[in-house]
Chains A and B, each alone.
Chain A
Amino acid sequence: MVKTIRQVGLKITVSLLKLLVRSPMTGWRRSPRSTTLKGR
């Protein structure tokens, strides 16, 4: 039961995330990543 609720919750969350966000358009984009292991 708990497992089913979790799965449904996860699916809803993922669907909401997909609605909220879109991927950027084609091509190279500037990378914002830190290049150190300590940084994020």
Chain B
Amino acid sequence: MPQMNMVQAVNEALRSAMRRDKRVVVLGEDVGKVGGVFRVTAGLSEEFGEERVIDTPLSENGIVGCAVGMALYGMVPVVEIQFSDFIWPAYDQIVNELAKYRYRSGGEYPAKLVIRTPVGGGIKGGHYHSQHPEAAFIHVAGLKVVCPSNPYDAKGLLLASIQDPDPVLFFEPKRVYRAAKGEVPEHDYLVPLESAKVVRPGRHVTVLAYGAMLYEALDAAAKAAEKGVEAEVLDLRTLWPVDIAAIVTSVKHTGRLVVVHEAPRTCGFGAELVSLVVERCFYHLEAPPVRVTGFDTPFPYTLEMEYMPLSHRILPALLDCAKS
């Protein structure tokens, strides 16, 4: 089985989906000849031509608005937003149009498309190349939100997202685009949406993480184990609808919860995860749930490693939670 990084795995998924179904088109800024600023779409233009791998004008609103129209026609657009920090001009089209089309048309128009976009910090990108905006999309009725952490999941989840009947926001953690490597089958396979994965079993505390922060959580868990605390780490993979059954099973088992995410804390996805757990597992909890997150500040340039909820911040939270 070939070793791949996430960039290659996503590229594989796109190539395979485009080979199988000529309705699949890729559009975005610089996705053509240069293959995207992260090279995720490298080689697609050569194989499928400029009509299906489309370098667009620099307008996220235009890209998503046109993609919605293409989807209404029956195409399956896979949009690339170059950095998730640039997605906001398209927010109206995503929230009011894409996410609502099926509902507001009584099911006559399912506007199915996938929006791929790199997320997260740790790459010296400052405020405009580092945001992790999942909460703003999880909050929107009608969207599904996915965030893989490794090449295997990236390919399987992207293929599943393209096949899924609903619009999907597909967040790619750019800090581990090339750092996360693993075996990826050459054949097509699906990683089902709405399925979390226990990546490290444990009995003292549950840690929920996703994307690049999964590795920080795993690092903290390994260090905690040296101190006798066995953390169970879940990679959520699909953020919404989240795999609530897997979360509840784990928390009922451990009785303690730590949630990790890069995005700011207030009204972040961690707030929802803690609420869901408290509603379902209150009598199993032995300590207050803890959020280890980005701060409620804009994303900083120089001090980004202080801003991010890295292992050094997760570890004490984990130990405190396990011992309180």
Partners in one complex: no
Q: Which residues of B contact A (CB under 8 A)?
A: none
Interface residues, chain A, CB within 8 Å of chain B? none
